[in-house]
Amino acid sequence: MNSVFGDRKTIIILLAPALLLYTLLKIGPVAWSLGLSFFEGNTLRGFEFVGVDNFTKFFTDDAALQSLGVSVFFAIVATAGQILLGYLLALLYVFVLRKGSSLLRTIVFFPAILPTVAVALLFRSFVAVGDNQGPVNDLINLFGGESVEFLATTSGTMATALAMTLWGSMGFYAILLYAGLLDIPDEILESAKLDGANGLKLVRHIVVPLSLPILLSSIIFSLNATLKVFDSLLALNNGGPGTSTAPLTLYMYRTAFEYAEYGYGSTIALVLTLLCLVFTLAIFRSSQRKAED
Amino acid sequence: MTVQPQVENPSVTVLERSEQPLRNRRRARRALKRLPVWTIVTIVVVVVLYPQVWMILGSFKTQSEFLSNPALSLPENWIFDNYTTALNNGNVSRNYLNSILVTLPSVALIVLIGVAAGYALEVLVWRGRKGTLLYILAGIMVPGQMILVPLFTVYFRAGLTDSLWPLIITYTVMGLPLTTFLMAAYFRSIPREIFEAATVDGSSPLRSFFVIGLPMMRNSILTIGLVQFFSVWNDLLIALTFTTRPDLATIQVGLLSLSDQYGSTQYGPLFAAVSINIVVLLIVFVFLNKKIMAGMAAGSVKG
């Protein structure tokens, strides 16, 4: 039987398209890009081998370090917010609303499928449109505050970007974590309740430890997604004011395609890749250490 | 704005008619206990829905009407002027067409190639298939930025930059690793006996793929197809990099340049262009939300 399922021709027909495309247009370019990071220049101007100069340049380049800081800050705060809001929503779905949560789950999830560009333009108007500077400022005025020009400052832009990211993704993370919470056996919860664990105590000592695996994989997924933040900060305020909210991805894009520095651009892309790897491994390691304790 | 599915239960209304003071009081007490919950639910719903409603209502307003009363209010007249301006003046209708022309072939290719590879890696038996699956899986981790510069050079040399092909090819490659991995996982959940029985009946494994594998994967194909549809449709990075002319731009690139063009001076057409995006996706979501939610959750928890 296995010889029939090991038919070489069938394997090649079905697997070759995927394997070829993937190798030629993904693995190949990754290797190429790795190589490029040791060169200076572009296709028109020609390339010059510069060794590790691009890397030393990166760590003395203020713009690069600033964008690195923006990416890391955004990733950490956005991940913390996404997981926290998502987990609170998931707890609400599973333990408070129970069977009645389906409509709310669906409504809160919907923004997750909206294009980030559309959401960014929506939020940009939401904090800046009209004489009053948008509905958010209407609300601030209502409580007696002065209108705030969110997009005129770095912190205001960052706050808006984080708010729109949380708005767009909390429903998605809620669904992820909801699925994890549903997997907790009822018997465990029942016996914990009989032992007198209730409310916060139950959540802290029973629910959180039991949903730790799904929490960790959600954190890793969220960090990897938010470290690559691009659309939202670009569409919201063009990385501004100035370049103060330009993340690493945007700096890489501008270096490679606006200033045609292919070599240095590849170096920045490599730093981004390594950054994702380091964060993933760090979470992994810390979770394993916790499991050993 | 309240979400109370169980209260609208018909059997409850029947009870309500045969009123008993005791039961009423008990229900009142229970309602009071539920009050904080409903407050939270209401706040969540308002926070999620209000920005969207605000934008869609705004897209029907005239500029002066919008400025004089920007918060939540119905338009005085439901005018479609903003929509006609957006679709006729800018490139918006061209952008939407481009997005469709890019997204549909990309998703079709991703799913077809991915499901075939998943079958070859899971149902077929050969040495090295585990390693091959890992090799493909490694691609999920790599950010798009790593391959942009080389691909740009390749497409430029191949003379493809004046078409939509760079987008279709790149999206297909980017979507393949996850799709292959998930398809292999779905094939794993189908009992092998089905394929073996087909072989006993004289079907070749290639024929079994088309006659048994594909039809059995219908559900998974739809789920993954939806996930890939959103990731391609919503992408900005790749579209921005490989778009050399305004009339090749997808809707996300188009929206970005539209917002530069109108800036903070003319909201109507911009709002209309964004609202089309929201409403179209909303219609898709209303019909397929279960599949979309399941698919996107599956796509993120890998391994």
The CATH number assigned to the domain holding B247 equals 1.10.3720.10
Chain A interface includes B165 (CB < 8 A): no
Reference B194, options B181, B183, B209; nearest CA is B209
Q: How confident is the model at residue B147 (pLDDT cuts 50, 70, 90)?
A: very high
Tell me, letter by letter, the H, E, C secondary structure of chain B.
Answer: CCCCCCCCCHHHHHHHHCCCHHHHHHHHHHHHHHHHHHHHHHHHHHHHHHHHHHHHHHCCCCHHHHHHCCCCCCCCCCCCHHHHHHHHCCCHHHHHHHHHHHHHHHHHHHHHHHHHHHHHHHCCCCCCHHHHHHHHHHHHCCCCHHHHHHHHHHHHHCCCCCCCHHHHHHHHHHHHHHHHHHHHHHHHCCCHHHHHHHHHCCCCHHHHHHHHHHHHCHHHHHHHHHHHHHHHHCCCHHHHHHCCCHHHCCHHHHHHHHHHHHCCCCHHHHHHHHHHHHHHHHHHHHHHHHHHHHHHHHHHCCC
Residues of chain B in contact with residue A36, where contact means CB-CB under 8 angstroms, are 149-150
Q: Quick one: pLDDT at residue B61?
A: 84
Is there a contact between A15 and B116 if contact means CB atoms under 8 Å apart? Answer: yes
Half-sphere CA count of B204, side-chain side, radius 13 A: 7
Is there a contact between B236 and A5 if contact means CB atoms under 8 Å apart? Answer: no
Q: Quick one: pLDDT at residue A128?
A: 80
pLDDT averaged over every residue in chain A: 90
The DSSP call for residue A25 is I
- Whether residues B141 and B221 share a domain: the answer is yes
Q: Quick one: pLDDT at residue A256?
A: 93
Name residues 236-265 of chain A within 8 A of B (Cβ).
249, 252-253, 256-257, 262, 265
pLDDT (average), residues B192-203: 88
* Whether pLDDT at A95 is above 90: no
User: What's the gap in Å between the CA of A112 and the closest CA on chain B?
Assistant: 10
Q: Quick one: pLDDT at residue B5?
A: 43
Q: pLDDT by residue (tens digit) across B41-56?
A: 999 999 999 999 988 8
- Whether residues B105 and B147 share a domain: the answer is yes
pLDDT (average), residues B64-89: 76
Query: How many beta carbons lie within 10 A of that of residue B279, not counting itself?
Result: 13
- Assess contact for A148 and A156: CB atoms under 8 A: yes
Q: pLDDT by residue (tens digit) across A8-46?
A: 889 999 999 999 999 999 999 999 999 999 998 888 888
- Domain residues for the domain of B63 are 10-83
B180 assigned to some structural domain = yes
From B49, B67, B83, the end of a domain falls on B83
User: Minimal Cα distance from B138: which residue of A?
Assistant: A27
- Whether residues B24 and B130 share a domain: the answer is no
Q: pLDDT higher for B162 or A74? A: A74
Is there a contact between B149 and A273 if contact means CB atoms under 8 Å apart? Answer: no
- Whether residues B266 and B196 share a domain: the answer is yes
User: Minimal Cα distance from A264: which residue of B?
Assistant: B149
Q: pLDDT by residue (tens digit) across A116-135?
A: 999 999 998 888 876 667 78
Is there a contact between A112 and B296 if contact means CB atoms under 8 Å apart? Answer: yes
From B47, B63, B83, the end of a domain falls on B83
- Whether residues B210 and B182 share a domain: the answer is yes
- Whether residues B202 and B289 share a domain: the answer is yes
User: What's the gap in Å between the CA of A194 and the closest CA on chain B?
Assistant: 22
Query: How many beta carbons lie within 10 A of that of residue A12, not counting itself?
Result: 12
Chains A and B: how many Cβ contacts under 8 Å? 274
Domain-wise residue ranges, chain A: 53-292
Q: pLDDT higher for A168 or A141? A: A168
d(CA B98, CA A59): 40
d(CA B3, CA A129): 31
Candidate from B145, B170, B256 with C-beta closest to A249: B145
Q: Quick one: pLDDT at residue B3?
A: 41
Q: Quick one: pLDDT at residue B265?
A: 61
Name residues 167-186 of chain B within 8 A of A (Cβ).
169-170, 172-174, 176-177, 180
- Whether residues B139 and B29 share a domain: the answer is no
Candidate from B4, B176, B284 with C-beta closest to A18: B176
B4 assigned to some structural domain = no
- Assess contact for B269 and B86: CB atoms under 8 A: yes
B3 assigned to some structural domain = no
* Whether pLDDT at B2 is above 50: no
Strand partners of residue A40 = A48
Candidate from A9, A113, A252 with C-beta closest to B281: A113
Please tell me whether the interface predicted TM-score (ipTM) of this complex is above 0.95: no
User: Minimal Cα distance from B34: which residue of A?
Assistant: A96
Chain A interface includes B48 (CB < 8 A): yes
The DSSP secondary structure of B91-159, one letter per residue, reads: SHHHHHHHHHHHHHHHHHHHHHHHHHHHHHHHTS--TTHHHHHHHHHGGGTS-THHHHHHHHHHHHHTT
Residues of chain B in contact with residue A1, where contact means CB-CB under 8 angstroms, are 196, 199
Question: Can you give the length of chain A in residues?
Answer: 293
Residues of chain B in contact with residue A268, where contact means CB-CB under 8 angstroms, are 145
B62 assigned to some structural domain = yes
Q: pLDDT by residue (tens digit) across A146-174?
A: 888 888 899 999 999 999 999 999 999 99
Q: Quick one: pLDDT at residue B19?
A: 53
B1 assigned to some structural domain = no
Residues of chain A in contact with residue B4, where contact means CB-CB under 8 angstroms, are 100
- Whether residues B100 and B52 share a domain: the answer is no
Chain A interface includes B80 (CB < 8 A): no
Chain B interface includes A221 (CB < 8 A): yes
Chain A interface includes B256 (CB < 8 A): yes
User: What's the gap in Å between the CA of A111 and the closest CA on chain B?
Assistant: 8
Candidate from B70, B142, B180 with C-beta closest to A273: B142
pLDDT over 90 for what percent of chain B? 45
B32 assigned to some structural domain = yes
Q: How confident is the model at residue B11 (pLDDT cuts 50, 70, 90)?
A: very low
| Burial of A293 from C-beta contacts in 10 A (0-12 / 13-18 / 19+) | exposed
- Assess contact for A17 and B113: CB atoms under 8 A: yes
Q: Quick one: pLDDT at residue B63?
A: 77
Is there a contact between A135 and B54 if contact means CB atoms under 8 Å apart? Answer: yes
- Whether residues B48 and B152 share a domain: the answer is no
Q: Quick one: pLDDT at residue B8?
A: 41
Strands (E), chain A: 39-42, 46-49
Residues of chain A in contact with residue B151, where contact means CB-CB under 8 angstroms, are 25, 29
- Whether residues B244 and B109 share a domain: the answer is yes
Candidate from A13, A110, A266 with C-beta closest to B149: A266
Is there a contact between A17 and B116 if contact means CB atoms under 8 Å apart? Answer: yes
* Whether pLDDT at B14 is above 80: no
Q: Quick one: pLDDT at residue B118?
A: 95
- Whether residues B152 and B258 share a domain: the answer is yes
Q: pLDDT by residue (tens digit) across B272-294?
A: 989 998 998 999 999 988 889 98
The CATH class of the A53-292 domain is mainly alpha
B201 assigned to some structural domain = yes
Candidate from B49, B146, B256 with C-beta closest to A30: B146
Q: How many domains does chain B have?
A: 2
- Whether residues B76 and B105 share a domain: the answer is no
User: Minimal Cα distance from B196: which residue of A?
Assistant: A1
Is there a contact between A125 and B172 if contact means CB atoms under 8 Å apart? Answer: no
